[in-house]
Amino acid sequence: MFDLKLQYIATWVRDRGYASVALQLPEGLKLRATEIVDFLTQETEANYVMLGDPCYGACDLFINYSSVADALVHFGHSPIPSQGDDPNVLYIEADMPLDIQDKLEAVLSDLGMNVGLLATVQYLNCIPQAMEILHESGRNAFVGDGDARIMYPGQVLGCNCTAAYSIADSVDEYLYIGEGDFHPLAAAFGAGKPIKVFNPVTGELRSVDEVRDRILRRRFAAIVGGQEAQSFLVIVCSKVGQNRNGLADELVDLIRSKGRIAYKVFMNELSPQNLLHYRVDAYVCTACPRIAMDDALRYDRPMLTPPELEVALGVREWDDYVFDQITS
Ligand code: SF4
């Protein structure tokens, strides 16, 4: 069970005397939203409002919270330091304290001698124990610092694996502690080293090679679609941590310099329905890189990332394919 630190939130609200507080939760935690409001209402004098729009990361922070409340509690993600600090915003990272001793020891023989440790914020608390276990087994364990988009050593976001790149020269492979494919894939594409995924709940250790190859095949198909496209819609997202308007302008110039047609669109929520009416051959997404990677099949036209557009237009070699990243 993720630790939502409700008593800590109540103390923060009481001590600061907020009359109203907005609560922003990712989809996976919304099931607990009413429970959170019930608890905090009982413990404090404040009124609470739940923010109903989808929330995908701290990149999606509701910066206009003052239009509905005095303060904001954002659940499920760590701060993104480069987005700045607001004393009226509290981040509750909702980590999951776990003892991984037996599970990690059971798969140690599958690990190399120089291992880089990575995790999403929910499982960063497993890294010190994993380091200790690796050291005791005679292995070297490394934890890297990310750029200004990354809050903690070893932390990866789906759009930023700089914590992996900073130790790439020291490691033979990475051990990613967590679930899912997207975060380890970002490291696998960028760092050029093998990556193994260790699920700290089930103890499963697996490779992402097969998923990586499947995604690459799909991405190459999208790039071929981009090569044939005559007109592109370059998408800019208004979310505070996804807005790459400057990059979008550069891409528009690049497309036009190749004799093709480019349009730019600015929107908050990207969806197949929101793009349906634009009469173009392909999309270029400067918002969250997950959209092109995870959701591309939902869109009716090829959806390219910025580096994929470069390949499609012949200014980047196919061999130089890189995962799209949002850096500090
Ligand atoms: S841009 Fe995407 S991958 Fe990056 S933090 Fe936001 S939701 Fe996560």
Q: Which atom of ligand 1 is closest in space to residue 56's alpha carbon?
A: 7
* 142 part of a folded domain: yes
pTM of the model: 0.93
Residue 190 has pLDDT above 90, yes or no: no
* Domain stops at, among 176, 207, 238: 207
**pLDDT tens figures, 297-313:** 899 999 999 999 999 99
As a whole number of angstroms, the distance between CA 304 and CA 312 comes to 9
* 77 part of a folded domain: yes
Q: Which atom of ligand 1 is closest in space to residue 59's alpha carbon?
A: 6
Do 137 and 162 sit in the same domain of this protein?
Answer: yes
Radius of gyration of the chain (CA): 21
Quote the number of domains for the chain.
Answer: 3
For the segment 12-29, the average pLDDT, to the nearest whole number, is: 97
Tokens of 283: 């999309």
* Domain stops at, among 43, 75, 92: 92
**pLDDT tens figures, 269-300:** 999 999 999 999 999 999 999 899 888 889 99
* 325 part of a folded domain: no
CB 193 within 8 A of CB 171: yes
Average pLDDT, the chain: 95
Do 257 and 185 sit in the same domain of this protein?
Answer: no
Task: Give me the CATH number covering residue 50.
Answer: 3.40.50.11840
Do 162 and 220 sit in the same domain of this protein?
Answer: no
Q: Does ligand 1 come within 6 angstroms of the Cβ of 291? A: no
- The vertex-151 CA angle with 145 and 153, nearest 5°, equals 30
Q: Which residues fall within 8 angstroms of residue 282, CB to CB, at 6 or more apart? A: 225, 226, 229, 231, 232, 233, 301, 302, 303, 304, 312
User: pLDDT class for 173, splitting at 50, 70, 90?
Assistant: very high
Q: What percent of the chain has pLDDT over 90?
A: 86
Pocket test for ligand 1, best of 150, 157, 236, 269 (most atoms within 8 A of CB): 157
Q: Which atom of ligand 1 is closest in space to residue 160's alpha carbon?
A: 4
Q: Does ligand 1 come within 6 angstroms of the Cβ of 146? A: no
Do 64 and 87 sit in the same domain of this protein?
Answer: yes
Do 216 and 314 sit in the same domain of this protein?
Answer: yes
* Domain stops at, among 207, 237, 263: 207
Do 286 and 221 sit in the same domain of this protein?
Answer: yes
Q: What percent of the chain has pLDDT over 70?
A: 100
Do 48 and 88 sit in the same domain of this protein?
Answer: yes
* 111 part of a folded domain: yes
Do 107 and 85 sit in the same domain of this protein?
Answer: no
Residue 181 has pLDDT above 90, yes or no: no
222 lies in which domain range?
211-320
Q: Does ligand 1 come within 6 angstroms of the Cβ of 290? A: yes
* 328 part of a folded domain: no
Do 231 and 314 sit in the same domain of this protein?
Answer: yes
